[in-house]
Amino acid sequence: MRFRGVLLWLFFCPFWTLAATACAPRLDLGSDLLWVARHETGDLAEWTAAGKGGSAADAPDTSLAVSTDHAHSGRYAVKLSNAAVSSYEEVRLWRTDQFPQAAYYSAWYYLPRAYQTTDDWTIMQLRAPVPGDPSTISLLLDVDLRSLPDGDLIVSVYDHRPQYLRAATPDPAVLVPVGSWFQLQAYFDASPDADGRFALWLNGQLLYDLPRSFNLNGTVYFSVCSVSQALSPADSAIYVDDAAVSRTPVPLDATL
């Protein structure tokens, strides 16, 4: 099932209802795919195209590489390694653009093994320029992994604005798969009014649906990352593939 330039049967009515008033049985998603990184060129060209993205790693404890170890589709994915122990360090890829006020931001992740967290392990971020200082990118929304007492991992959302901070964890908790690919998909409506919204799905299951206002100028900074400290084992790795920004949700069975 192709995502580009063909009709798809859309299985995820909950996604679509955030972006429109009713579910549609079929959608032409060809023109709705705004940006994608498949990594099948064996490099990071899709992230850096037109000077609208890049990568960063805090050496020597973190690193980034295009890898054939695991791939969600095709041959390549990006491996984010982080061995920080005593302080937060980060490795990231980002794409920034004048994306629509409301859009979906998604990526597939693979954890080769379970890790125990002592602090938040951030693997996705939505950030924005500071009003009046577009050269400075401020923290806004983090998607984190956190350990339960029994060692299982869950997804958590943190809004850096002081009136929000940590969102309540879904009850019952939804566990993050280990040893298989999983999709995180966020719906972000940056409206400055009460109809602004951030929602997050794990493998098509809604975890968070947070109505709140945002006051952005249209530029959104989308990042897949590994920001952490003191993971156990300390030398962590997470793989990322098939990242996308789209006007409509990316179904789980879509081929980008």
pTM exceeds 0.85 for this model = yes
Evaluate if residue 11 carries a pLDDT over 50: no
Match 């992230």 to its residue by tokens: 47
**230-240 average pLDDT score:** 95
Domain coordinates of the chain in residue numbers? 34-246
Backbone dihedral angles phi then psi of residue 165, each to the nearest 5 degrees: 60, -135
Note the pLDDT of residue 18: 43
Domain 34-246 has CATH 2.60.120.260: no
Q: In Å, what is the CA distance from 92 to each residue of 44, 46, 121, 138, 153?
A: 12, 14, 13, 15, 21
**50-61 average pLDDT score:** 96
Residue 15: its H or E element? helix 13-19
Note the pLDDT of residue 76: 98
| Residue 167: both structure tokens together | 């969102």
Q: Each residue of 90-132: pLDDT tens digit?
A: 999 999 999 999 999 999 999 999 999 999 999 999 998 777 7
Q: Each residue of 152-205: pLDDT tens digit?
A: 999 999 999 999 999 999 999 999 999 999 999 999 999 888 889 999 999 999
